Structure 1
Amino acid sequence: MTDSWFGEIIHRNARQNADGLAFVEGGRSLTHAAYLARAEALAAALRARGIARMDRVALLSMNRIEYMEVCGACELTGFIAATVNFRLSAHELRVQLRDCAPAAIFFESSYTSLIEEIRADLPSIGTWICFDDGPDWAEPYEEVMSAAAGQVPDVASTIEDIAYLVYTSGSTGRPKGCILGSRELTRKAEQHASDLGITSDDRLLIVMPLFHVGARGVSSAGQWRGAAVHIQRSFDPAAFIRTVEAERISIAHLAPTMVQMVVEHPLAATADFSSLRAILYSAAAMPGEVLRKALELFGPVFHQAYGQTEGIVSCLPRHHHKPNGSEQEKARLLSVGQPYPGVEVMLVDDAGRDVTHGGTGEIVYRGGAMFRGYWNDSVATLAAWRDGWLHSGDIGRFDADGFLYIVDRKKDMIVTGGENVASREVEDALLRHPQVAEAAVIGVPHSKWGETVHAVVVLRDGATLGETEIIEHCRLFLASFKKPTGVSFVEALPKLANGKVDKLSLRQRWSAEGSMA
C-alpha cells in the first residue's frame, strides 16, 4: 500500500517539477510550484475564517482552475471537499447541502439565483466565496487569495483523512454521499496512472465535470505522475478537437456519447489526432458502430473503465482493436474488462452463493480503492457492504478468459449521455403531482444519448394532464437531464405476482416503439 497521499503529492510535484505545468484552462495556466502556493494561501484563508479539519467545503461550479485550487486546499489540510452537481434543481441542491452541512461554499456567479432561493435553509454555511463577480453577501475569490498570499495553513492532512464527499445518483431514492478517503483515492490514482501509462511528459484533457468521481479520478492520476492537466469548462466536440491538436493532448477522458459527437463532427475528418495515445471511456458501453468508427479515426487507443462512485472494479485496456475480427473478438468489445490488480470480483446469486465460475449473478467486489461508507446513512452503508464485499447492484458474468460482462442492472438506473439517473427519483417527482396516480420510469434506447428517460403514467380519474405539463412539473424537483423526455399514458401499469411494476415488459414495449430515436 502506498504511503503517499494527495497533500504530499502536491508538495512533491512542486519540489520535483516546480516549473512544469500543473493545470491549463483557456489562456490560463499554473505550474506545480504556483499551484502549491495558491492552494496553501487558500487553505490559510479558510483557516482564518474558522474552517477546521474535517469540515466540509462545498463546490458549485463548472470546470475551472479555481476548482482545482479549492480541491488542493482541502487535500493539503484535511478539509473535506464536497462536490456538487451544478445541474441540480434548487430542491435537490437544498437536500444535498443540508445533508453534508458545509462550513463554506465556493460558487460561480451564474448560480447566484439558485443559491439565493435556498440560502436561508443552509445555516451551516458561514463562508460564501464567489469565483467571479458575485453578490454582495459573498467574498470575491481573488480578494481572498490576495489577502492570504504567501501564507501557509497551520494544519496538515494525513493519509487516513476523509478527502471527498461525492454524491451518487440515488438508485434507491435520495442521493447518498460517498465518503472517499485520502488513502483510497491515492490508490485509485495509481491504478489509473499505471493502466494509462501516464508520465510527467503527458498532457491530459478533462472535459467531463469535475464533480464526478471519474473526471476527478483521471485528473488525480495526472497529478500523481506530475503531468499537465488541461481543463475545459464543459464538453464541446469542436473545442475538444482543436485542443487536442493545439496542445498535443496525449490522454483524454470521455463518455461514449462524447466519442460519438467527436467522430461525427466535421472537423474530425481532417484533424491531427496523432498525439492521442489513450482515451479512457466509462459510464456506459460503447455502441459497436460508434466504436468501429472511433477506431478508424483515433486508432487502437481505447480503454474502458467499469466502476462506481463507491469503487473501481475493472478496465479493458487495448483490447479495442478488432471490431471486425472473430466472433470472440467482437463479443469482447462488449466486456468491461478484467479486474484491476488488487481488486477481487465475485458473482453471487440472490441467496449470496458464489456463482462466479459459469454462472450469472450480482457483481460484488473489494479492493484498495473503495469508499468508506455513506455520509449520515449507516443503514445504506450496511446494505452495500455485506460480508466484506461491496454489492454493485449490477448483474454480470465472466467468460472463460476472465473478462467481465454486464448482463443487467439490478439497480433501476438509466444512463443517459454519461449521467446516471435513478428511476426511483424521477418516479418520486412524478408522484408529487396531485393528478398522477401511478408512475414508472424506464430508459429507452437513443442513438445519441445511449438512453433517454421515459415515464409511463397512470392519471387519477378525471385528470387531463398532457406530456408537456408532466415534464414541466418534473423541472421543479429534478435537474434537467433527469426529467422525462417522453411520457406515455396508460390505464394501468403491468404488475408482477409480488405486486411490483413489471418494468421488463415496459422496457420491451417502449424500447421497441421508440428504439434509437
Structure 2
Amino acid sequence: MTGRHGLMIEPMSKRVMNLHGLLAQSARRFPDDIALVWGEETWTFSQLQRRVSAMAAALQRQFGVVKGDRVLVQSQNCNQMFESMFACFQIGAVWVPTNFRQTPDEVAYLASASGAVGMICGQSFPEHVEACRRGSPALKFVIAIGSAAFAEDYDDIINRFDGETTPTAIVDHDDPCWFFFTSGTTGRAKAAVLTHGQMAFVVTSHLCDLMPDTTHEDASLVVAPLSHGAGIHQLTQVARGAKTILLPTEKLDIAEAWRLVEEWRVSNMFTVPTILKMLVEHPDVHKRDHSYLRHVIYAGAPMYQTDQNNALKTLGQVIVQYYGLGEVTGNITVLPAAAHYLDHDADPRPGTCGYTRTGMQISIQDSDGNEIAPGKTGEICVIGPAVFAGYYNNPEANAKAFRNGWFRTGDLGHMDEAGFLFITGRASDMYISGGSNIYPREIEEKMLSHPDISEVAVLGVPDLVWGEVGIAVCVARPGTAPDCAEIIDWLSDKVARYKIPKRLVFWSEMPKSAYGKISKKLIREELVRRGQLDELLKR
C-alpha cells in the first residue's frame, strides 16, 4: 500500500487490548479493594481476578473452548454471571448473555442462532437447559450456577481450577467479545456483534461523557440486568477500580436499593426511566442518605419532562441522560447533569436528549439517505467507533441497518442549530391519520403533564375513515379517578385536534419489558387480549 507521500505502508494487524485487561489492571492497582458486593458477600479485585482466571482455565482445558467460540449465559445477576464475562474475554471467547426472563424456547433460539458451544445457567432454569440441548446440536457442555441436576456447579469447578492461570488471548480490534441480543420488537431477536476494539472505545466514552470523575473510591449500584446496558456500565466501573453492588435478589426492591445506596455511599447507577421514576417516588428516598450520588444515568427510553422534574427535585442535579441503541452500545448522545434544569426558562431545550457523544457523528436523513436541514424530522443515523460490527450471520438485517456507511437507528428526530437532538419516536411508532404523520411522544409528553396521569402510551390503530387513529393507554396516579372526556377536552388547547387520541383507556399497570421499559408491542397484544382494540374499531 502506498501512502499519500509515496511511502510504502505495510498492512498491519489492528491488535488491541483484550477487555479482560480492565479487570487485570485494576487487580494489580487495587488488589485489596472491594470489587463486587452481592448480598452478604464481598470480593476484592484480587479475589475476583483469581476466580475469573480459574473459570477461564476450566473453559479452555476441561470444556475445550477456543477463541471465537460462543458461550451462552442464562442467569439472574450474580457474581458468577459477572465473572463469566471476564472469563470469556480472557480466552477470546464470546460472551452471549440472555434476558433471564425469556422462555425456554426463546433462549433455545438464541443458543442456536449464536452457535453457542456451551452454556452457563442458573440452577432455577432446568427447562431452559433442556430446550437448548434439544434445539442446539453445537452445544457441548453446560455449567450450573448453584447445585443442579443438569450440570456440575460453577463454584465446584472454580475450586478445582483455583490457582491455575491461562494466557490472555491476543485479539484484534474487530474480534468479537459479546453478542448483544436486541429486544426483538419486530421478528426474532438479532445478535449485534460487539468487539474488543469497539468496547474499549465505549468504556472510554462512558467515562469521558457520562461520569468523568469516576475513581476507585466510587461505588455503583446495579438495578438492571447485567445482560445488557448495566453490564456495559459495569465494565466502566471495573476499568476505574470502583465497587459494583448487586441487589441481593432478582426482585427490584426499591427500599433495599436505597438502603444499599446509603450503606455503600453509592455515587453512580445506571437505570431506565421507569425504574428511576420508581426510585424517586418511593418513600425511602427521603429516609436514606443519598448525598454521595453524583451520576444517576438513565437510558433505554425517553424520560418525560414531568418525571425529569420530579427526579431533579428529589435527587438534585445528578441525573444524566444518554441515547443509544444496543447496536451503538449507548453512544449516540449525552445530556449531562448540568444540562438538566427545573426552571424551563433557564433551559432553552426541554425535551432534548443531548448532544453528540465524543468521537461520534449524527446525521438526520430522509428516506433516500440525504441529510436534511436542522429542525426537520427524519431518521437518526450515526457513524463512529461505537457502532457495532453488524448482526451475526444475518446479511439481510445488515443490508437494512446500514446505508452509505451510516447505521440507521430506526428512530425519528431532529437536531437544532446547536446540534442538540430531539427524538420524536420510533419510525415504527409513527402513524398516519388522515394523511398527517403523528409522533406519539409529543402527545405523551403533554398527557403526562396532567396531574392525574402517571404513565401513558399512545399507539396508532387502524380506522376505516382516517386510516389510523390514536389510542392512549394510561395509568392513573394513586388516589385519582381521571375522567377520559375531561382529559380529551384538557388536551384540546395543547396539541392539534387531529393529534388527540380518539380513545383513552385506563389500566392498573403498564406492560413493561424485562428491562423496565414500557413496551408498545406488549401493550398492543394486551389491547387485543382484552378486546379493547376490536371495541375501538367497531366505533
CA distance in 1, matches of 2:288, 2:296: 16
Letter in 2 for 1:91: D
CA distance in 1, matches of 2:256, 2:318: 20
The question of 1:316 aligning with 2:335 is answered yes
CA distance in 1, matches of 2:325, 2:132: 30
For residues 435-514 of structure 1, the aligned pairs below 5 Å read: 444-447=472-475, 483=522, 484-487=525-528, 489=531
SS class of match (2:372): coil
CA distance in 2, matches of 1:71, 1:283: 22
Q: Which runs of 5+ in 2 are unaligned?
A: 1-13, 431-439, 442-456, 460-467, 478-518
> Once the two structures are superposed, what CA deviation does each residue of 1:311-366 show, in whole Å capped at 9, x if it has no partner?
0201100245422331x72x634111100111000011011111043422111001
For residues 422-441 of structure 1, the aligned pairs below 5 Å read: none
Letter in 2 for 1:112: P
The question of 1:218 aligning with 2:218 is answered no
* Residues 204/491 of structure 1: CA separation in 2 closer, same or farther (3 Å cut): closer
| 1:190 and 1:224 in contact (8 A); partners too | no
The residue that corresponds to 1:191 in the other structure is 205
Deviation of the 1:5 alpha carbon: 4.1
* Residues 278/83 of structure 1: CA separation in 2 closer, same or farther (3 Å cut): same
The residue that corresponds to 1:18 in the other structure is 31
Letter in 1 for 2:404: D
CA distance in 2, matches of 1:173, 1:357: 33
> Once the two structures are superposed, what CA deviation does each residue of 1:36-67 show, in whole Å capped at 9, x if it has no partner?
11111101101111111110011100111111
The question of 1:109 aligning with 2:123 is answered yes
Work out which of the two has the higher radius of gyration on C-alpha atoms and give 1 or 2.
Answer: 2
The residue that corresponds to 1:91 in the other structure is 105
SS class of match (1:191): helix
Aligned-pair identity (%): 29
| 2:105 and 2:128 in contact (8 A); partners too | no
CA distance in 2, matches of 1:2, 1:251: 32
Match for residue 128 of structure 1 among 142, 145, 160? 142
Deviation of the 1:250 alpha carbon: 0.3
The residue that corresponds to 1:147 in the other structure is 160
SS class of match (1:164): strand
| 2:108 and 2:128 in contact (8 A); partners too | no
| 1:206 and 1:253 in contact (8 A); partners too | yes
* Residues 239/444 of structure 1: CA separation in 2 closer, same or farther (3 Å cut): farther
The residue that corresponds to 1:325 in the other structure is 344
CA distance in 2, matches of 1:20, 1:395: 45
CA distance in 1, matches of 2:107, 2:59: 23
> Once the two structures are superposed, what CA deviation does each residue of 1:67-109 show, in whole Å capped at 9, x if it has no partner?
1110010111101000111111222222211101211111111
The question of 1:82 aligning with 2:96 is answered yes
The question of 1:277 aligning with 2:297 is answered no
The question of 1:339 aligning with 2:378 is answered no
The residue that corresponds to 1:167 in the other structure is 181
CA distance in 2, matches of 1:24, 1:38: 15
Letter in 1 for 2:311: A
Deviation of the 1:382 alpha carbon: 2.1
For residues 347-358 of structure 1, the aligned pairs below 5 Å read: 347-358=364-375
CA distance in 2, matches of 1:26, 1:218: 20
> Once the two structures are superposed, what CA deviation does each residue of 1:183-238 show, in whole Å capped at 9, x if it has no partner?
111111111112212112111111100111x1111101111212111122443211
CA distance in 1, matches of 2:138, 2:476: 41
The question of 1:258 aligning with 2:271 is answered no
The residue that corresponds to 2:386 in the other structure is 369
What is the TM-score when the length of structure 1 is the normalising length? 0.79
CA distance in 2, matches of 1:39, 1:333: 45
Deviation of the 1:2 alpha carbon: 11
What is the TM-score when the length of structure 2 is the normalising length? 0.76
| 2:16 and 2:196 in contact (8 A); partners too | no
The residue that corresponds to 1:473 in the other structure is none
SS class of match (1:110): coil
CA distance in 1, matches of 2:34, 2:185: 39
Q: Which has the higher contact order (CA 8 A, sep 6+)?
A: 1
The residue that corresponds to 1:206 in the other structure is 222
Letter in 2 for 1:228: K
| 2:122 and 2:145 in contact (8 A); partners too | yes
SS class of match (1:336): coil
Q: Which runs of 5+ in 1 are unaligned?
A: 416-420, 424-439, 450-479, 494-505
Letter in 2 for 1:29: T
SS class of match (2:332): strand
The residue that corresponds to 2:171 in the other structure is 158
> Once the two structures are superposed, what CA deviation does each residue of 1:163-201 show, in whole Å capped at 9, x if it has no partner?
000111224411110000011111111111122121121
Letter in 1 for 2:134: A
* Residues 448/173 of structure 1: CA separation in 2 closer, same or farther (3 Å cut): farther
Deviation of the 1:412 alpha carbon: 4.8
> Once the two structures are superposed, what CA deviation does each residue of 1:106-127 show, in whole Å capped at 9, x if it has no partner?
1111111333245322221111
* Residues 486/291 of structure 1: CA separation in 2 closer, same or farther (3 Å cut): same
CA distance in 1, matches of 2:104, 2:85: 24
Letter in 2 for 1:207: V
* Residues 289/34 of structure 1: CA separation in 2 closer, same or farther (3 Å cut): same
| 2:32 and 2:45 in contact (8 A); partners too | yes
> Which moves more between the two structures, 249-258 or 148-157?
148-157
Deviation of the 1:310 alpha carbon: 0.5
Count of paired positions: 442
Letter in 2 for 1:323: L
CA distance in 1, matches of 2:301, 2:476: 12
Letter in 1 for 2:378: G
The question of 1:6 aligning with 2:19 is answered yes
